[in-house]
Amino acid sequence: MLREHFPGLNQRVHGKPLVYFDNAATAQRPQAVIDAINDYYINHNANVHRGVHFLSESATDLYENARLSLAKLLNAPSPKNLIFVRGCTEAINLVAQTFVRSKIKAGDEILISHLEHHSNIVPWQILREQTGAVLKVIPMNEQGELNLESIDELITEKTAFMSVVHVSNALGTINPVKTLIAKAKEAGIPVMLDGAQAVPHLKVDVQDLDCDFYTVSGHKMYGPTGSGILYGKAEHLEEMPPYQGGGEMISKVTFDHTVYNAVPAKFEAGTPNIAGGIGLGAAAEFMMTIGMDKIAQRDSELRVYTELALKQVPGLKLIGTAAEKSPVFSFVIEGIHAHDVGTIIDHYGVAIRTGHHCTMPIFQYYGLAGSCRASLAFYNTEQEVDVLVDSLIKARKMFE
Ligand code: PMP
Let me know whether 193 and 78 are in one domain: yes
Residue-averaged pLDDT of the chain:
97
The predicted model gives 307-321 an average pLDDT of 98
Q: How far is the CA of 89 from the centre of ligand 1 (A)?
A: 6
CA-to-CA distance for 162 and 370, rounded, in angstroms? 27
Let me know whether 142 and 242 are in one domain: yes
Instruction: Check whether 278 has a pLDDT greater than 90.
Output: yes
pTM of the model: 0.98
Best residue among 119, 165, 357 to mutate for probing ligand 1's pocket (most ligand atoms within 8 Å of CB) is 119
Q: Is residue 17 part of a domain?
A: no
| Smallest CA separation from ligand 1 atom 15, residue | 87
Let me know whether 211 and 358 are in one domain: no
Best residue among 169, 175, 222, 375 to mutate for probing ligand 1's pocket (most ligand atoms within 8 Å of CB) is 169
Reduce the DSSP state of residue 227 to 3 states and report it.
Answer: coil
Q: Is residue 304 part of a domain?
A: yes
The predicted model gives 266-275 an average pLDDT of 98
Count how many domains the chain has.
2
The maximal CA–CA distance of the chain, rounded, in angstroms, is 73
Let me know whether 254 and 322 are in one domain: no
Let me know whether 275 and 168 are in one domain: yes
pLDDT classification of 365: cutoffs 50, 70, 90: very high
* Domain edge (last residue) among 244, 262, 289: 289
Q: Is residue 297 part of a domain?
A: yes
The predicted model gives 115-126 an average pLDDT of 98
Let me know whether 280 and 299 are in one domain: no
pLDDT classification of 311: cutoffs 50, 70, 90: very high
CB-based contact 28:6 (threshold 8 Å): yes
Let me know whether 273 and 351 are in one domain: no
Q: Is residue 251 part of a domain?
A: yes
Reduce the DSSP state of residue 268 to 3 states and report it.
Answer: coil
Q: Which residues contact 298 (CB under 8 A, 6 or more apart)?
A: 2, 378
Instruction: Check whether 1 has a pLDDT greater than 90.
Output: no
Let me know whether 112 and 69 are in one domain: yes
Q: How far is the CA of 215 from the centre of ligand 1 (A)?
A: 9
* Domain edge (last residue) among 222, 255, 289: 289
Tell me the per-residue pLDDT of 137-175, one tens digit each, with 9 for 90 and over: 999 999 999 999 999 999 999 999 999 999 999 999 999
**Owning domain of residue 358:** 292-398
Who has greater pLDDT, 290 or 1? 290
Q: Is residue 10 part of a domain?
A: no
Q: Kindly report the CATH number assigned to the domain that includes residue 149.
A: 3.40.640.10
Q: Which residues of 133-160 are buried (b: 16+ CB within 10 A; e: fewer)?
A: bbebbbebeeebbbeeeebeebbeeebb
* Domain edge (last residue) among 260, 289, 318: 289
Let me know whether 205 and 132 are in one domain: yes
Amino acid 196: pLDDT: 98
Tell me the per-residue pLDDT of 59-79, one tens digit each, with 9 for 90 and over: 999 999 999 999 999 999 999
Tell me the per-residue pLDDT of 6-46, one tens digit each, with 9 for 90 and over: 999 999 999 999 999 999 999 999 999 999 999 999 999 99
Let me know whether 79 and 215 are in one domain: yes
Q: How far is the CA of 125 from the centre of ligand 1 (A)?
A: 17
Q: Is 358 a catalytic residue?
A: yes
Amino acid 185: pLDDT: 97
| Smallest CA separation from ligand 1 atom 16, residue | 89
CB-based contact 109:131 (threshold 8 Å): no
Instruction: Check whether 400 has a pLDDT greater than 90.
Output: no
